[in-house]
Structure 1
Amino acid sequence: MKIMIRGLSRLTTEQKVLSLLAPYGLVHYFHLVMDPNTKNSKGFGFAFMPNPSQAKAAIKSLNGAEVDGQKIRVKKADTKAGENGHDQ
């Protein structure tokens, strides 16, 4: 399941987010979106957890948590039609 994490501090690293997700299960990746001009974080990113029940537990536990002084928002990422073979 693809997860979107928003509201991250500009100082929060990919490694920090991975360490937050790890207790809930296997994380295939986390990609922190960066501004191509400034090379600074845009404050959001995407993770993929292959086990949906683990991903849902991470969402439930981490949504609204404070990380590096910021209240983060965690939810299932919207998938584009056809991205995984069918519309959702």
Structure 2
Amino acid sequence: MNIHVSNFGTQLQDEDLKNLFTPFGEVTSAQVAIDGFTDQSRGFGYVEMPDDEQARAAIAALNQTQVNGATIALREVAPREVHKGSYKVGTGPVNPFIYRKR
């Protein structure tokens, strides 16, 4: 299960996020979103846990708690859907005149 963690400070790193969830079970990945211009945390991240029950227990225990002086918010993230058939990966030919600048 993927968990969205938001509203934490810029000093939190991937390893800190993983250590926050480790007492509740196995953590597959923990990733803090990094701003491309400043190379600092954007204040949110994602944690992936393979066991849904452990993930729900972590959400219940850690939601609205203080981490480094900030109250974090957690929510379950729906799995990503793979969309096929868009104009970029469609099966038919692309008419180049539609995309011409006028």
Same fold at TM > 0.5:
yes
CA–CA separation in structure 2 for the residues paired with 1:82 and 1:13: 29
CA–CA separation in structure 2 for the residues paired with 1:14 and 1:81: 25
CA–CA separation in structure 2 for the residues paired with 1:78 and 1:40: 26
Q: CA RMSD in A?
A: 1.3
Moved over 6 A (4+): none
Residues 36-84 of structure 1: per-residue CA shift (max 9 Å, x gap)? 010010000011100000000000000001001100001101334348x
Question: Which structure has the larger Rg over C-alpha atoms?
Answer: 2
Q: How many residues align?
A: 83
Q: What secondary structure is seen at the aligned counterpart in 2 of 1:47?
A: strand
TM-score (norm 2): 0.76
Structure 1 stretches lacking a partner, 5+ long: 84-88
Higher relative contact order (CA 8 A, sep 6+): 1
Map residues 56-67 of structure 1 onto 2, 5 A cutoff. Answer: 56-67=56-67
Structure 2 stretches lacking a partner, 5+ long: 84-102
